[in-house]
């Protein structure tokens, strides 16, 4: 299981396309009528400055790019190039609506990307929103996975295989998921090193501390669900958790500890 966006339902049309290593998907300044979802391989987003190529983001399986052409019918603000041989799903305007209905997580991730840009842009919104590179949108606080015992005494999530743990954010709000190259947004706890099956969504769940207690919320759009002691949560719902509770984010099993 994974949260990779799937191809919109269609009986007659083939949306797949492939590119070899080094091949350009599209150039900066080109007119665009499609966005792309990566099925396999890696794609870099780049800009040319004084004849030199500068990488803005490296995207991988399940990431999307080129969505501005779908949303605003504007020329490409950056180029895209295959870093490895890759298989893509091409989405044109006529099928975008089907995609959103078939796989709402893509729409939710687009909204989060736009929302984050709006919050970061502030008074210079008009000048920056269309051109802000993905790398400039990355929050700086990500809790590293450390050997067990490294966060003793702090509220934390603990893995037994491998034996690592990650402390919750001292701010009181901890986001859990995987780094989203498409939006440039890091979760507080990045489960990618533990999630070999890509079963967790980019933003999968949130743990909040409230006056000494803790609640976990399953994020709307998380494809494979959040489980507390084996019971699957309702999307968007909250459940109070205590020391020793077992949480599953997709296929990733973690124990909540406060001692």
What is the strand order of the sheet 213-218 is part of? 189-190, 173-177, 203-210, 213-218, 238-241
CA dist 178 and 18 (Å) reads 25
CA dist 61 and 43 (Å) reads 9
Return the sign of the alpha-carbon dihedral for residues 154, 156, 158, 164. Answer: negative
**Mind listing the domains of the chain with CATH numbers?**
16-137 (2.60.120.10), 146-257 (2.60.200.20)
Question: Quick one: how far is CA 239 from the chain centroid?
Answer: 23
Strands 146-147 and 163-167 turn out to be antiparallel
Half-sphere exposure in the Cβ direction for 143 (13 Å, CA): 27
DSSP category for residue 96: H
Given this model, what pLDDT does residue 117 score?
59
204-228 pLDDT, tens digit per residue, is: 999 999 888 999 998 876 778 899 9
Spatial CB neighbours of 237, under 8 Å, sequence gap ≥ 6: 217, 218
Given this model, what pLDDT does residue 3 score?
52
Residue numbers of the chain with a pLDDT score lower than 70: 1-14, 73, 97, 99-101, 113-142, 182-183, 221
Buried b (16+ CB within 10 A) or exposed e, 37-75: bbbebbbbbbeeeeeeeeebbebbbbbbbbbbbbeeeee
The reported pTM is 0.57
Given this model, what pLDDT does residue 253 score?
96
């Amino acid at each position: 299981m994974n949260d990779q966006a799937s191809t919109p339902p269609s009986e007659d049309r083939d949306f797949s396309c492939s590119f070899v290593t080094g091949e350009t998907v599209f150039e900066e300044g080109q007119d665009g009528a499609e966005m792309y979802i990566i099925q396999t391989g890696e794609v870099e987003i780049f800009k040319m400055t004084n004849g030199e190529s500068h990488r803005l983001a490296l995207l991988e399986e399940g990431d999307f790019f080129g969505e501005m052409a779908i949303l605003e019918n504007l020329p490409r603000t950056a180029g895209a190039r295959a870093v490895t041989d890759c298989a893509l799903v091409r989405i044109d305007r006529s099928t975008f609506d089907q995609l959103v209905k078939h796989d709402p997580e893509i729409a939710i991730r687009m909204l989060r990307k736009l929302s984050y840009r709006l919050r970061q842009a502030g008074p210079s919104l008009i000048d920056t929103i269309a051109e802000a590179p993905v790398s400039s949108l990355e929050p700086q606080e990500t809790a590293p996975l450390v050997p067990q015992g490294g966060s003793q005494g702090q509220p934390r999530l603990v893995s037994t295989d491998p034996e690592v743990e990650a402390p919750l954010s001292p701010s009181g709000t901890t986001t859990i998921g995987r780094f989203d190259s498409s939006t440039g947004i890091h979760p507080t706890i990045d489960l990618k090193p533990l999630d070999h099956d890509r079963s967790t969504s980019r933003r999968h769940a949130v743990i909040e501390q409230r006056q000494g207690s803790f609640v976990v919320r399953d994020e709307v759009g998380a494809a494979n669900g959040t489980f507390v002691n084996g019971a699957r949560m309702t999307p968007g719902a909250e459940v109070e958790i205590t020391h020793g509770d077992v949480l599953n984010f997709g296929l990733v099993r973690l124990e909540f500890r406060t001692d």
